[in-house]
Amino acid sequence: MSETMKVHNITLFHVELAMRNPFSTHQGSLTKRPLIIVKATDESGNAGWGEVTAFPGPFYTSETIDTAWHILKDFLLEQDSLTKLSHPSEFSSEFSHIQGHQMAKAGLEAAYWDLFAKQRKKSLKELLGGSRSFVKAGAVINLSENFREKLPLFKEQGYERYKLKVEKGKEKEAVAAVKELDSEVQLMIDANGAYNEEDLSYLASLDELGLLMLEQPFPAGDFYLHSELQKRMKTPVCLDESVMSLHDAKQAVRLKSCQMINIKISRVGGLSTSMDIHNYCMDNDIPVWCGGMVESGISKAHNLALASLANFTVPGDLSSSERYFFKDLVVPPLTIHGGRWKCLIS
């Protein structure tokens, strides 16, 4: 790692993608998708691309697209060490003095990883140590969609797992309605932290639904209530918003707060931390899967490289570009074939 990456210039672009349909959870709704695209170049003309996937408002995490732009412009891009890194894996420790702002960091680090791969004429999958030639895909059915229309289409496209966004108190009827259409479907539900301590017994009763998992029932940052729930139910509890770092993942595993973890590159601060969490979970027999952020093909390519690692055993939220957008930023747009993605993305 003695040779630096030779980053010559970093450029930010603020873009907005038109969405085919709103994407809605109980936290909020997207009708268009703003993104920050990061381009890192060297003097030979190689370009690495990253993407900041913060939302317009702070309904998923405390970050927004505007706060991320501020942190990038006024703090991260002001660091002299940006041009002195020998390897992208150094990024996380180099900027650990900047507290939080995981999505801003992740977008910049992603551009470094992509540039590093191109400088060495390797795929990102190779650099990360991915072992799969394809990744299984799962689809999300959000609150603004008619699952009766979507489910037959998803089945035809070969998606192997479905995540149903649900409203509190309406979970059983929603699952029953889906299973009326397909009794064999691999189904999980996600209410993005909508429940509280008074709901423990009710949530435990959802065992009868035979779900693949129950994702993030309690608010972000909680480990105690998730641990209490996991003691009461056989259905695996999966953590999403509660895991913002490797430290969080270790707390979750040691406190028995979950049996699965959803790894989102942007939520945990980048690919390096994502790999650390993957490795820790694999050593502790906790399956992981790759979550999505209604992102463009740039982020999706990074997700596919990450999901090629051995412990990503559950199909991730990796829908085709056309699922959400009229037009993607990558050409050709990324599409699945028979419910699978080929891991040939650089």
Determine the pLDDT at residue 150.
80
Q: How confident is the model at residue 239 (pLDDT cuts 50, 70, 90)?
A: very high
Question: Looking at residues 338-343, what average pLDDT do you find?
Answer: 62
Determine the pLDDT at residue 286.
98
In the chain, where are the structural domains located?
A: 9-121, 125-342
% of the chain beyond a pLDDT of 90: 63
Write out pLDDT tens, residues 269-315: 999 999 999 999 999 999 999 998 999 999 999 999 999 999 999 98
CATH 3.20.20.120 assigned to domain 125-342? The reply is: yes
Determine the pLDDT at residue 154.
82
Write out pLDDT tens, residues 16-67: 999 887 776 666 677 899 999 999 999 999 999 999 999 999 988 999 999 9
Whether the model clears a pTM of 0.95, i.e. scores above it, the answer is no
CATH code linked to domain 9-121: 3.30.390.10
Write out pLDDT tens, residues 194-225: 999 999 999 999 999 999 999 999 999 999 99
125-342 and 9-121 share a CATH fold: no
Top-confidence range, 99-103, 133-137, 317-321: 99-103
Say whether pLDDT at 138 is over 80: yes
Q: Is the peptide bond before 287 cis (omega within 30 degrees of 0)?
A: no
Catalytic positions, please?
165, 264
